[in-house]
Amino acid sequence: MSDCVLLIKYTITYLLQNNESGYIKQIKEGINMKLAMGCDPAAYRFYKKLLERMKEEGYDIVDTGCESENEADGGKYAEIAEIVSNKVVSKECDYGILICGTGQGMAMAANKIPGIRAVLCYDVFPAVLSKNDNNGNVLCTGAWFMEKKGIDFTMAMIHAWLFSGYTGTHEDGMLALSRLDNKKYQEVM
């Protein structure tokens, strides 16, 4: 088992022993969350390995595609990001996970959907903070980078993100984001 996975497991064990409230209690009682996941053709092979691992660990996954690495991209990332984001906003799924080559396109596309707070992460620490401080509800990452770190590292990052909870310490910022969701902007082109 990788050092990163062990670190996450030790952290969760410590938190379980020292905190009986909030999201830690949810972990202790058993995770019952539904995740929407999707990728574009650039991330297909890595995504399939990750999807298999997530299912092995018992996650309830709604797989939104794509169909193969040979699909013509042509903006497929935007289509998949919209599908996953709508499943999160509608509460059909608790959270979303999106993967493309870099994660950038997925994050940009997902953040166009009102109510989505998509975060782009390549490591555990920013993944945790994106949930603690900004209440992220869609995790985006890049296959080209994460496949070098490996599935174990990627799973550790996903676990850290899923098991983190919003602390409420940045409520003013969250209200500002909600106001932006409701604003209508003229197209500038």
CATH number of the domain that 49 lies in?
3.40.1400.10
The reply to whether 87 falls in a domain is yes
pLDDT (0 to 100) of residue 103: 96
- For residue 117, the enclosing domain spans 31-179
pLDDT (0 to 100) of residue 29: 43
Q: What pLDDT tens digit does each residue of the chain (189 aa) get?
A: 566 566 666 565 555 555 544 555 455 444 678 999 999 999 999 999 999 999 998 899 999 977 777 665 667 899 999 999 999 999 999 999 999 999 999 999 999 999 999 999 999 989 998 998 889 999 999 999 999 999 999 999 999 999 888 888 878 888 888 888 777 665 555
Structure tokens at 169: 């310490």
The reply to whether 2 falls in a domain is no
The reply to whether 26 falls in a domain is no
Q: How many domains does the chain have?
A: 1
Q: Is 100 a catalytic residue?
A: yes
The reply to whether 185 falls in a domain is no
Catalytic, out of 4, 66, 93, 100: 100
The reply to whether 35 falls in a domain is yes
The reply to whether 104 falls in a domain is yes
The reply to whether 128 falls in a domain is yes
pLDDT (0 to 100) of residue 89: 97
The reply to whether 1 falls in a domain is no
